[in-house]
């Protein structure tokens, strides 16, 4: 493969700044991607520690490790850190690494903007975490920040809002960069309907981000002016409406949950064909399903508010639109299943995580469907059943997809192979204990345990103990992941071939390993493109 060879030679001429300048002034998509992933990993660790504290407090009835106010701060910050600090930046980091390589571009279209959107984040995260240490402690109103409760917190309240503003700006800039890159820097011949699904799902996610992050920013800013400048947007005593906030928040919030999961759909659509040694079943259907999920995600927000007292017609509408989302979601799951059907499957770590995703994300989808039925939701809402639902879609859903993505592409990034045996340990510990952790929460919710409580009646102790033990082991197992990655980067066995996976297709695998600093300095030729997109 002559082209690849040329690139390999070229790679040796990479000029990159050395020392701290390389990172602070970074404009290279790989460096920025790496920084995103490290930042996200750090936040995952902090959010995870908060989760361990929560599970310790909930180990049994009458446990008193934390004051209830502190406990509420922990759950609030856990949610915010995981969503805005861990999962979203992970996806942006992966987008940075992979999109230029997958579409045949040298880098992202707007490298300086890229630098800015990353470097906003450490400030935002610092502000958010520092709010733990101001008088009154961190905000404790839940990640949903409903007023008037939200108005009762001290200095941490404006700090959190500014942190959200910053994270929002960062996300919007990152999303603009991704859209511009995908629209303008595709290699000749890479038409939209030849793009890999990770690129497709990210394109759609980027539009979702641009559409809803300003909505969130607006909603929290209105809370800010209510608090400091005497407005009454959400203050009933001043003629305002607390429910308005819920509507605006969930108009952001439901698309947001798809921002967290659509890139995961993309990753799974890359991994399953590779290890099934078969092209993705129903490529176009996958693209259209993603687009229709994104569209529907704008008209289902009311399903988070069935108990606030909306008119029956509105509840009916939100029930039906929510149930409709299950159709394209089902199409995706069926397509993945059909991709494995009559394939030639092997079970390397990325595939293991993808398979776990298939099963466990589906369980989250089933509970979602149950939650969509309004009368049932009257019983489920605000309980551990909901906690189980969204953790099934977010942990073995989004987080497992992130693990799968890193195990899939890491050999390409650093030209070395990780320790497969350890990675399989990481997988088995994760997949077993994520279920021990979250499955019993369905029972707890159904039996009547509300969410966001620091203490509960004794009859809930048994399943909470199971859940906490699952949580501690799941949490501890995650330490393997940074170790595996670190060990791979330092001393993994070099990968000679362009691709360590015999079933892999796509432009990223046409580049030498490790991938050159500037991905495709010359656009891939038609022959390379054809080879990359083979089948």
Residues 116-175 that bind ligand HEM (CB under 6 A): 144
Query: What is the CB neighbour count within 10 angstroms for residue 338?
Result: 16
User: Residue 249 to residues 118, 144, 224: CA-CA distances in angstroms?
Assistant: 25, 7, 14
Tell me, residue by residue from 421 to 460, as one string, x for binding to other proteins by CB under 8 A and - for no binding: ----------xx--xx------xx-xxx-xxxxxxxxxxx
Q: Nearest-CA neighbor of 171 among 130, 128, 124?
A: 124
How far does Cα 475 stand from its chain's mean position? Answer: 18
Q: Nearest-CA neighbor of 179 among 165, 168, 195, 166?
A: 195
- Using an 8 Å Cβ cutoff, are 289 and 332 in contact? yes
- Residue among 91 and 400 whose Cβ is closer to other proteins: 400
Which of residues 368, 411, 454, 532 is near ligand HEM by CB under 6 A?
368
CA 531-533-535 angle, to 5 degrees, is 95
Residues forming beta bridges with residue 525, ordered by sequence position: none
- Tell the smallest beta-carbon distance from residue 261 to other proteins (Å): 18
Alpha-helical (H) ranges within 131-241 are 156-184, 197-228
- Tell the smallest beta-carbon distance from residue 257 to other proteins (Å): 19
Cis before 81 (ω within 30): no
Does 88 participate in binding ligand HEM (rule CB under 6 A)?
no
Does 278 participate in binding other proteins (rule CB under 8 A)?
yes
What tokens does 432 get? 């077993």
- Residue among 136 and 482 whose Cβ is closer to other proteins: 136
Quick one: what does residue 25 bind among Cu ion, other proteins, ligand HEM, none, with the CB cut-off 5 to 8 Å set by partner type? Answer: none
- Using an 8 Å Cβ cutoff, are 408 and 351 in contact? no
Residues 248-277 that bind ligand HEM (CB under 6 A): 257, 260-261
Query: What is the CB neighbour count within 10 angstroms for residue 23?
Result: 17
- Using an 8 Å Cβ cutoff, are 319 and 375 in contact? no
Does 142 participate in binding other proteins (rule CB under 8 A)?
yes
Does 303 participate in binding ligand HEM (rule CB under 6 A)?
yes
- Residue among 119 and 146 whose Cβ is closer to other proteins: 146
Does 254 participate in binding Cu ion (rule CB under 5 A)?
yes
Which of residues 53, 56, 243, 533 is near other proteins by CB under 8 A?
243
- Residue among 88 and 325 whose Cβ is closer to other proteins: 325
User: How would DSSP label each residue in 367-414?
Assistant: HHHHHHSHHHHHHHTTBHHHHHHHHHHIIIIIIHHHHHHHHHHHHHHH
What's the rounded Cα separation, in Å, for the pair 201 and 197?
6
- Tell the smallest beta-carbon distance from residue 312 to ligand HEM (Å): 17
Quick one: what does residue 452 bind among Cu ion, other proteins, ligand HEM, none, with the CB cut-off 5 to 8 Å set by partner type? Answer: other proteins
Quick one: what does residue 11 bind among other proteins, Cu ion, ligand HEM, none, with the CB cut-off 5 to 8 Å set by partner type? Answer: none
Quick one: what does residue 393 bind among other proteins, ligand HEM, Cu ion, none, with the CB cut-off 5 to 8 Å set by partner type? Answer: ligand HEM
Which of residues 322, 362, 435, 478 is near ligand HEM by CB under 6 A?
322
What's the rounded Cα separation, in Å, for the pair 193 and 284?
7
Does 408 participate in binding other proteins (rule CB under 8 A)?
no
Which of residues 344, 476, 491, 497 is near other proteins by CB under 8 A?
344
Quick one: what does residue 59 bind among ligand HEM, other proteins, Cu ion, none, with the CB cut-off 5 to 8 Å set by partner type? Answer: none
- Residue among 25 and 288 whose Cβ is closer to ligand HEM: 288
Does 340 participate in binding other proteins (rule CB under 8 A)?
yes
Residues that are catalytic: 78, 107, 143, 170-171, 254, 256, 258, 269, 303-304, 329, 332, 451
- Using an 8 Å Cβ cutoff, are 36 and 92 in contact? yes
Does 193 participate in binding other proteins (rule CB under 8 A)?
no
Residues 381-400 that bind ligand HEM (CB under 6 A): 381, 386, 389-390, 393-394, 397-398
What's the rounded Cα separation, in Å, for the pair 535 and 531?
9
Q: Looking up tokens 């909603």, which residue turns up? A: 219
What's the length of the chain? 535
What's the rounded Cα separation, in Å, for the pair 431 and 81?
22
Binding residues vs Cu ion (CB under 5 A): 254
Binding residues vs ligand HEM (CB under 6 A): 144, 257, 260-261, 303-304, 322, 325-326, 329, 365, 368-369, 371-372, 377, 380-381, 386, 389-390, 393-394, 397-398
């Amino acid at each position: 493969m002559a082209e690849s060879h040329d690139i390999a030679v070229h790679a040796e001429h990479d000029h990159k700044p050395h020392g701290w300048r390389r990172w602070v002034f970074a404009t290279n998509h790989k460096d920025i991607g790496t920084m995103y992933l490290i930042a996200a990993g750090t936040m995952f660790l902090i959010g995870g520690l908060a989760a361990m504290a929560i599970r310790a407090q909930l180990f049994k009835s009458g446990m008193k490790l934390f004051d209830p106010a502190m406990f509420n701060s922990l759950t609030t910050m856990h949610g915010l850190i995981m969503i805005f600090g861990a999962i979203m930046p992970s996806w942006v980091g992966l987008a940075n690494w992979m999109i230029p390589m997958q579409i045949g571009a040298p880098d992202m279209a707007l490298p300086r903007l890229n630098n800015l959107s990353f470097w906003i984040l450490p400030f935002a995260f610092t502000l958010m975490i520092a709010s733990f240490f101001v008088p009154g402690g961190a905000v404790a109103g839940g990640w949903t920040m409903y007023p008037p409760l939200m108005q009762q917190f001290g200095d941490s309240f404006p700090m959190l809002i500014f942190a959200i503003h910053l994270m929002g700006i960062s996300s919007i800039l990152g999303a603009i960069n991704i859209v511009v890159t995908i629209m303008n820097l595709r290699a000749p011949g890479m038409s939209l309907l030849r793009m890999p699904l990770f690129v497709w799902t990210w394109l759609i996610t980027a539009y979702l981000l641009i559409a809803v992050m300003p909505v969130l920013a607006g909603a929290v800013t209105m809370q800010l002016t209510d608090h400091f400048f005497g407005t009454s947007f959400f203050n009933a005593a001043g003629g305002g409406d607390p429910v308005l906030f819920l509507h605006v928040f969930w108009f952001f919030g439901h698309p947001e949950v798809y921002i967290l999961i659509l890139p995961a759909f993309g990753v799974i659509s890359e991994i399953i064909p590779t290890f099934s040694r078969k092209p993705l079943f129903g490529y176009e259907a996958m693209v259209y399903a993603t687009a229709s999920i994104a569209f529907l995600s704008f008209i289902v927000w009311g399903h988070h508010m069935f108990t606030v007292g909306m008119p029956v017609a509105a509840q009916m509408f939100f029930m039906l639109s929510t149930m409709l989302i299950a159709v394209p979601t089902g199409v995706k799951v069926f397509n993945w299943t059909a991709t494995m059907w009559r394939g030639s499957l092997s079970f390397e770590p990325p595939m293991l995580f993808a398979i776990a995703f298939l099963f466990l994300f589906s369980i989250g989808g089933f509970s979602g469907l149950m939650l969509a039925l309004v009368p049932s939701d009257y019983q489920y809402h605000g309980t551990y059943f909901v906690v189980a639902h969204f953790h099934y879609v977010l942990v073995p859903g989004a987080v497992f997809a992130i693990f799968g993505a890193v195990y899939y592409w890491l050999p390409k990034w650093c030209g070395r192979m990780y320790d497969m045996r350890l990675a399989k340990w990481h997988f088995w510990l994760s997949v077993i204990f994520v279920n021990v952790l979250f499955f019993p929460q369905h029972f707890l919710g159904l039996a009547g345990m509300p969410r966001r409580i620091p203490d509960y009646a004794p009859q809930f102790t048994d399943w909470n103990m199971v859940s906490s033990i699952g949580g501690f082991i799941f949490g501890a197992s995650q330490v393997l992941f940074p170790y595996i990655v670190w060990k791979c980067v330092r001393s993994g066995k070099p990968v000679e071939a362009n691709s360590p996976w015999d079933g892999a297709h796509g432009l990223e695998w046409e580049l030498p390993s490790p991938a050159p600093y500037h991905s495709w300095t010359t656009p891939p030729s038609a022959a390379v493109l054809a080879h990359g997109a083979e089948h």
